[in-house]
Structure 1
Amino acid sequence: MIVPAGVVDYDPRWPLWFDEIRARLAPYADGFVVEHVGSTAVPGLAAKPIIDVDVVVPSAELVPKAIARLEAAGYRHEGDLGIAGREAFALPPDAVRYHHLYVVVDGNEAHQDHVLLRDHLRANAADRERYAARKRELAHLLMTDRTAYVSGKGALVEELIARACGSGAGGGTGRSGA
């Protein structure tokens, strides 16, 4: 499957794509919450057409169980990819939609960052536009240096998460993968 490498205007089909992915995960995520996070979960926000999905487990002790279930579904566990508290997966060969899949523990920093950023951008049009503009500014990097693309958004992501938490400055915690 080809990785989407561009930032596009919001597509109202993205929630439907998430529903397809969630339905495919349902037998493997029984007892866990499957949540749409990331830019495609924010109506009106420009994004890469990649659906970000969190499988939310209630405790760290259940992470291995969730990993085993997702591997049984054909996903390949890739570790945390540098973001503590977020276990990432490569797509199964029969994936119908390109997506990023993570296992997170309910309420841990990785989960909170995903939810705080999503919910803040849903509620704040000015910040949603700032974030979209920054992503469009950096979009040329998607074909050559995805790490630079993510890093280029980092300071703004941290600022937005801090605003969502009620403070005015970023925490400097390196949470730019949110």
Structure 2
Amino acid sequence: MVGLERGTVELVPYDPGWKREYTAEVERLESLVGDRVVKFEHAGSTAIEGLAAKPIIDMLAVVDDLDAEADLVAVLENHGYEHRSNDDVPDRLFLVKGPRTARTHYLSLAEYASDCYLEQVVFRDHLRSHPGLAAEYEELKRRLADAHPDDRESYTDAKSSFIEHVLERAMDGA
């Protein structure tokens, strides 16, 4: 099951159904956008087997040129997505799916070589290949979710130093 009220933080145990939710949404999106998206990636904690997460499917849609594909936003808005601000992420277009009371999907449109794409994929892959680090991340997320259940911004901000540390290790090949 997916869906969480906007602005809140609730972690649930890993659900193998998240992969099916991701795959079903990609199939739906591919029928809407055709070859304008180079590929899709399952990102975020729901893409890491065994990791507790907010029940919102994070997805990346890779495009060749973000400026040239900006009109995809209108297509996606006509099919259940809402365009949101980038929250200080300059190299993406960010959309959400689901009502405010039950956001189900996050979709970032980004170029392949963008920081947005690279950081999300490197972080995901590093946690997938380092289960101990993934467990450490889950423990941090649980503490922060308990501390900030109604303040997603504080929850996200408090995770940033851990994420930066993991990215540094991953980029250095550690």
Counterpart code for 1:105: E
Q: Which runs of 5+ in 1 are unaligned?
A: 169-178
Whether 2:146 is the aligned partner of 1:140: answer: yes
Greater alpha carbon shift after TM alignment, 118-127 vs 19-28: 19-28
Q: Which runs of 5+ in 2 are unaligned?
A: none
- Secondary structure of the residue aligned to 1:128 is helix
Q: Which amino acid aligns with 2:12?
A: V
Separation of aligned partners in 2, 1:79 and 1:6: 22
Residue 158 of structure 1 is matched in structure 2 by 164
Q: 1:71 aligns with which of 70, 77, 86?
A: 77
Aligned AA (1:139) = A
Identical-pair percentage: 32
Aligned positions of 1:1-178 closer than 5 A: 2-3=4-5, 5-31=9-35, 32=37, 33-91=39-97, 98-166=104-172
TM-score using structure 1 length: 0.84
**Structure 1 residue matching 2:157: 3-state secondary structure:** helix
Question: Superposition RMSD on alpha carbons, in Å?
Answer: 2.1
Q: Is the 8 A contact 2:122 2:170 kept in 1?
A: yes
Aligned pair count reads: 166
Deviation at 1:108, TM superposition (A): 0.3
1:176 is aligned to: none
What are the superposed Cα offsets for residues 83-137 of structure 1, whole Å, 9 maximum, x if unpaired? 11121113256xx971111111112000101100000011001110111110011
| Cα 1:50–1:105 shift into 2, 3 Å | same
- Residue aligning to 1:173: none
Letter in 1 for 2:23: D
Q: Structure 2 CA distance, aligned partners of 1:19 and 1:10?
A: 16
Question: Which has the bigger relative contact order, CA under 8 A and spacing at least 6?
Answer: 2
TM-score, reference length from structure 2: 0.85
